[in-house]
Amino acid sequence: MKRLILASNSPRRRELLATLGYPFEIAPSRFEERAEGLSARETALAFACGKANEVFSRHPGALVLGADTVVALGDEIFGKPKDGADAERMLRALSGKTHSVFTGVCLVSAEGERSTVVETRVTFRKLEEELIERYVKSGLPLDKAGAYGIQDGYPLAEKTEGSVTNVVGLPVEETAALIKAFGGEIC
């Protein structure tokens, strides 16, 4: 039986992982995110595995879960906004368009590493300036990839194709499958 450690401080990931019913601990990663020349899919996976491996190096007897979410509109990758102006820029760019949300999930233990990347397509409504400004002033988009949280209660998304939990930050079904691939014996 292994201890499960979530390599993240994200309250959304914590809530989603808790729905699987496994006991887990939190150990935020110190991994430095740098991804020049990688696609959005590759970035999400590289960051997820980097976070998991960094925490595993400090907790070698555990099963460590790392995850990272990025938003991509074409070839442009949107991480977390630097500030309110950056959040407004991202929301204006996504307005009325379909984009992809990629979450990389990586599990690391002494037995090895397993990972996956999940893509969800999200189509935004045409956003009015007043809505963008009100949403950014709420502070909610400032710690989220793409400057939005589908769960925040603002009418941003018109259509979602794929896992909604992926857009929130952790694709629950795929994460459960990865844990089961390690035997699912969590204490």
Query: Each residue of 118-175: pLDDT tens digit?
Result: 999 999 999 999 999 999 999 999 999 999 999 999 999 999 999 999 999 999 999 9
Q: How far apart are CA 59 and CA 51, in angstroms?
A: 12
Q: Classify domain 4-181 at the CATH class level.
A: alpha beta
Residue 187 clears pLDDT 60, i.e. is over it: no
E-only strand ranges, 2-124: 4-6, 25-26, 63-73, 76-78, 98-109, 112-124
Catalytically active residues, by annotation: 68
Q: Could you give the angle at which helices 129-137 and 84-94 cross, rounded to 10 degrees?
A: 140
Backbone CA torsion sign across 44, 114, 29, 18: positive
3 state DSSP class of 52? helix
Domain boundaries, the chain: 4-181
- pLDDT tens per residue, range 36-73: 889 999 999 999 999 999 999 999 999 999 999 999 99
